[in-house]
A = this chain, B = another copy of it.
């Protein structure tokens, strides 16, 4: 268990020789108790943050992806945050499955009524991640980030917005150009307001195009299923691909015939993401 007395261990399960923990801590940034899951392999030598997608929680990837087997072998600790604050009782927070609860989009909201609690970016970067890194004795050179769908957007944008904080980045079926897709436009309008010039700061493809040199020398790994019903309208990996070409960023974008947007796809490719991070961290 964490030595930090403010962290509550909700449950712990032996798993592949390590420990799968579910925890809760009080966040000063969101002003709420936040849950997260942490997989601790027998000998943690690096840390991978995995951000989940819309409708998910800290439990989804933890339970469905089958990542612990290889993570244990590679010595990768896995940190799975929740996807939004919970318990704030903000009016309208549960009206949509793609906005509000479980739809934090890994940014700090600036608009009322969201700005008070919906501060996932600051929570992750300034609170949760430093706490876990300190506990494990692992620094940024040993920390990677990945995610699925909305969480893939989160992984790419947080890595691009915070140079030096993550030494490896990958994504599975990420939202690559949220400024140009319905999910992103709804989230950005609600959380960031009507000034679209501010939205681009949270759009992976636009952030990539704004780079003066390739930010990830080790390359970016992205997997995308071609039977994913959200591919054309919401995900747009071709926008990220074009941006990477424009700035010379190595990108391995793998398109998989027949695979959909769900966890059977994630499980099918997660091992290669773990190996990508383990090789760079």
Residues from 39 to 74 in A contacting B, C-beta threshold 8 Å: 63-64, 66, 68-69
Q: Which residues of B contact A258 (CB under 8 A)?
A: 14
| Beta-carbon contact of A264 and B14 below 8 Å | yes
| Beta-carbon contact of A268 and B14 below 8 Å | yes
A164 at the A/B interface (Cβ < 8 Å)? no
A216 at the A/B interface (Cβ < 8 Å)? no
Q: Which residues of B contact A17 (CB under 8 A)?
A: 268
**Copies of this chain, tallied across the complex:** 2
Residues of A within 8 A of B (CB): 13-17, 20, 63-64, 66, 68-69, 225, 227, 256, 258-260, 262-265, 267-268, 271
- With A66-B267, A69-B268 given, can you name 19 additional A-B contacts, CB distance below 8 Å? A13-B260, A13-B265, A14-B258, A14-B260, A14-B264, A15-B264, A15-B267, A16-B267, A16-B268, A17-B268, A63-B63, A63-B64, A63-B263, A64-B64, A66-B66, A68-B264, A68-B268, A69-B267, A69-B271
